[in-house]
Amino acid sequence: MNINKVTDALKGVGLFLLANLTGILFLAGVAVIVYGFFQFGTKTGIFALGIAAVLISLILARERG
């Protein structure tokens, strides 16, 4: 077995997990911010949730091209 193939496969898996970890941490941060706004009031939290949804959809649209 060629060691370069194994190394490339491990590198690919590591990059995939790192990209997902970054996304998960970003979503967790947004969730904490939205939760903080819900502490002020329900309407404020719903507004923050809408802004967060728009922000995430804009990021996803930019990723797709």
Domain boundaries, the chain: 3-64
Alpha-carbon gap, residue 26 to 58, rounded angstroms = 14
User: pLDDT value at position 5?
Assistant: 78
Phi, psi of 15 (to 5 degrees): -65, -40
Helices (H) and strands (E) in the chain, counts: 2, 0
pTM: 0.68
* pLDDT one-digit tens code per residue, 4-63: 777 887 787 777 777 788 888 888 999 999 999 999 999 999 999 999 999 989 988 887
1, pLDDT greater than 70: no
* CA distance linking residue 23 with residue 31, whole number of Å: 12
Higher pLDDT among residues 46 and 65, named by residue: 46
Predicted pLDDT at 49: 95
> What CA–CA distance (Å, rounded) separates 55 from 47?
12
